[in-house]
Amino acid sequence: MPTKPNTSLKDVAILHQGPAQLPALVIGDIRLLGGLGDRLFRLLAAIDHTGSINQAAKDVGLTYKGAWEMIERANNLAPKLLVATAIGGRLGGGTRLTPAGKKILQLFIQIRNEHAQFIEQINQRLASDPDTVFLFKRLIMKASARNQFFGKVTAVAVGAVNATVVVGLKGGENIVATITKESAEALGIKNGVDVVALVKAPQIVLITDFGGYRVSARNQLTGKVARIQKGAVNAEVVIELAGGDSITATITNESIETLNLSLGCTATAVFKAGAVILGVAA
């Protein structure tokens, strides 16, 4: 007679939930040597609970064949048999966990609980550091604009229609953005707020010699050419600013020759305040 299942519904639920899905900065799962991971142990728990590999496979989201292949591989890797066939079964199966299988399943559940506590402690520690939290928010941000600058609002001038916002970068440079008054209010733009300034690379003009002229564009960031990547028609030019930030411009290959751009030469990235899009953390 097959042994009585001893994996509780709580244990099965814990394994099906996977690692704690908190709004976490650090996440992780457990994988044992030989590639024995979470899905195998969820399958073992389901087998122990249902007494049927057919039902267990459905619970875990595997095909019957896929479940058996996973079990066979685990049996081959383990020093003792983990899953064995038996006559009968609560749902007409014929599969049960051996004492070795039950032991390793309970061990994995214990490890998972301790691992979840460990990850939670790390996240609590990281969440207490505002700089770390903001760094991770930057890393997960996705935007099509090639240039993304993170800084703090240092000045805001609100007019009848538009607002002019000055963003201080970490190296001391400033970026000026012109946005609508409604946008400034909706984003909660004010002094000291952390923001990201987005600027598309094609909207940036490079100048190497002003020739005695001044230009009306509010943003003029000077630095050294750090990289030039030529394409069939256009090229990407990366300017490294003194403070450590870099800005990328897309210009034609012909302009590269006209401006006599080369690595290490000085160039100024010029763009209008209206070309800057501001974003704040949700």
Distance separating alpha carbons of residues 33 and 31, to the nearest angstrom: 7
pLDDT class for 8, splitting at 50, 70, 90? Answer: low
Q: What is the pLDDT of residue 272?
A: 96
Going 218 to 135 to 225 to 241, the CA torsion angle's sign is positive
CB 224 within 8 A of CB 266: yes
What is the per-residue pLDDT across 83-117, written as a single tens digit (0 to 9) for each?
887 655 444 447 888 898 898 888 888 888 888 88
Q: What is the pLDDT of residue 137?
A: 58
DSSP string, 20-38: ---S-S-----EETTTEEH
37: β partners: 31
Q: Which two tokens stand for residue 114?
A: 């301790």
Q: Which CATH number fits domain 135-279: 3.40.50.720, 3.40.1350.10, 2.40.50.100, 2.60.40.1120?
A: 2.40.50.100
pLDDT at residue 203 greater than cutoff 50: yes
Q: What is the pLDDT of residue 3?
A: 47
Q: Which amino acid is at 42?
A: R
What is the per-residue pLDDT across 215-242, written as a single tens digit (0 to 9) for each?
999 999 999 999 999 999 999 999 999 8
DSSP 8-state code for residue 51: S
What is the per-residue pLDDT across 246-282, written as a single tens digit (0 to 9) for each?
999 999 999 999 999 999 999 999 999 999 999 887 6
Which residues of the chain are in CATH 1.10.10.10 domains? 9-128
Which residues of the chain are in CATH 2.40.50.100 domains? 135-279
- The CATH code that applies to domain 9-128 is 1.10.10.10
Distance separating alpha carbons of residues 76 and 64, to the nearest angstrom: 18
Q: Which two tokens stand for residue 216?
A: 């009306």
At residue 242, the 3 state secondary structure works out as coil
CB 155 within 8 A of CB 166: yes
Burial class (CB in 10 A: 0-12, 13-18, 19+), 183: middle
Mean pLDDT (the chain) is 82
